[in-house]
Amino acid sequence: MSHLPGQGAIAKRILTARDEREGGFRIFPAIPPRFGVIAVKYSSTMFRAGEVAVYDELWTSGKPQDEPLVEDGGVYVIQYQRPTAAMTWDMWWAGRAGYCPSLLDVQYELVVASRSSMPGREDKWQTRPLRDARPGVFICTDGPLDEIQLTNKIVGKVVGIYNPAAFEGSAK
């Protein structure tokens, strides 16, 4: 991103003029309460590796009950936990959790949620990691999942990027 004189002021005017409820992708100069951040590991059409994505931890609050919780094509931060919460310690000690370097391994990942493309399972969901597809790289989806299974994994909905440099030199 080039830093031209006045660029931060222009970006700030655009972002402050937009109503937050529109759901647009935003640039954050600071992280307000109820939002979290995650480092972007892989480049994609939305992010470059090394950037910081901002997600809304209260992503379901204020949604009308007749609207679906998960948006088809939405970008989310999900949590993978090993051993799973339902696994007994006896099973874990017996090695059924697979490789787990500590008693509890928790990982977070940026994913795109979409409706399942499997015939007969269109009511289910699948997730795929948010990264560019390249020759020689196999990207696997997770699913099919019921909506409740997916929402239990979601930590927050990605709503923007943390970039304080975009606001440098702008009027406060």
pLDDT at 141: 82
Two structure tokens written together for 23: 């759901």
- The string of DSSP codes covering 63-130 is --TTS-SSPTT-EEEEEEEES-TT--HHHHHTTTT---SSS-EEEEEEEEEEE--STT-TTSEEEEES
Helix (H) or strand (E) holding 2, with range, is none
pLDDT in tens, the chain (172 residues): 333 334 444 344 334 333 444 567 899 999 999 999 999 999 888 899 999 999 999 988 877 877 888 999 999 999 987 766 666 666 666 665 556 556 677 889 999 999 988 888 888 999 999 887 777 777 788 889 999 889 989 999 999 999 988 777 665 5
Please state whether the peptide bond connecting residue 5 to the residue before it is cis, i.e. omega within 30 degrees of 0. Answer: no
